Amino acid sequence: MDFCQIVKKRQSTRKYDASRQVEDEKLQSILEAARLAPSACNGQPYFMSVCRGQSAKDVAKACMGMGMNSFAADAPVLIVISEEDYVKSAAVGSKLKNNDYRSIDIGILAAYITAQACELGLSTCILGWLDDKKIRQICSLDHPVRLVITLGYEEAGDKLRDKKRKNMDKLVKYV
């Protein structure tokens, strides 16, 4: 699949087929794409906790509240992305330039995970609404949790939606 096809096909999937597991080789392929993602000073300041079975149910529950993310309970895999320490050069650069490189790196990682999942016929949703404290407990993590990505096969009949985005002239100018 060309990347532009992935871009068009990838969407936030909120209906999963709870009875269909993610094949291990596909999961490994997604994690390998994530591993090769670029990051500031190649610091790779993140960690992925792959949750299946009961831990997936528990993490899903920790992403709910205020009517949000109840669909996550049906996703067979949840990938929890937490922070790791900066490497020294990125820490210094971040401070000198007042720029949060680590969050940017975590965004790139999430893009790689969701693109490779799409390539393999799997569906994802990136969740930022989460209970950091609870998920840290479930996954035994010392660092803040930043994102959870649901991963699985979409329910049969879930359709590709039109993407609503800003017009190009609200997003781009030529200087």
Pick 30 or 74: Cβ nearer a copy of itself: 30
Q: State both tokens at 72.
A: 């996550």
Q: Which of 99, 121, 133, 137 binds a copy of itself (CB under 8 A)?
A: 99
- CA 170 to chain centroid: 26
- Residue 33 sits in the site that holds a copy of itself (CB under 8 A): yes
- Residue 73 sits in the site that holds a copy of itself (CB under 8 A): no
- Residue 31 sits in the site that holds a copy of itself (CB under 8 A): yes
Question: How many CA atoms, within 13 angstroms, populate the side-chain half-sphere of residue 55?
Answer: 15
Cα(43)–Cα(40) distance, rounded to whole angstroms? 6
Q: Which of 57, 107, 134, 143 binds a copy of itself (CB under 8 A)?
A: 107
- Contact stretch for a copy of itself (CB under 8 A) within 13-21, 113-121, 152-160: 113-121
Q: Which of 36, 156, 157, 161 binds a copy of itself (CB under 8 A)?
A: 36
Least distance from a copy of itself to the Cβ atom of residue 155, Å:
20
Q: Which of 19, 25, 67, 97 binds a copy of itself (CB under 8 A)?
A: 97
- Residue 121 sits in the site that holds a copy of itself (CB under 8 A): no
**Which residues fall within 8 angstroms of residue 31, CB to CB, at 6 or more apart?**
48, 50
Kindly state the DSSP code that residue 140 receives in the 8-state scheme. Answer: T
Q: State both tokens at 58.
A: 């528990």
- Residue 85 sits in the site that holds a copy of itself (CB under 8 A): no
Provide DSSP, 57-110.
Answer: HHHHHTT-BTTB-GGGGG-SEEEEEEE-PPPHHHHHHHHHHT--HHHHHHHHHH
- Residue 70 sits in the site that holds a copy of itself (CB under 8 A): no
- The number of residues that bind a copy of itself (CB under 8 A) is 72
- Residue 75 sits in the site that holds a copy of itself (CB under 8 A): no
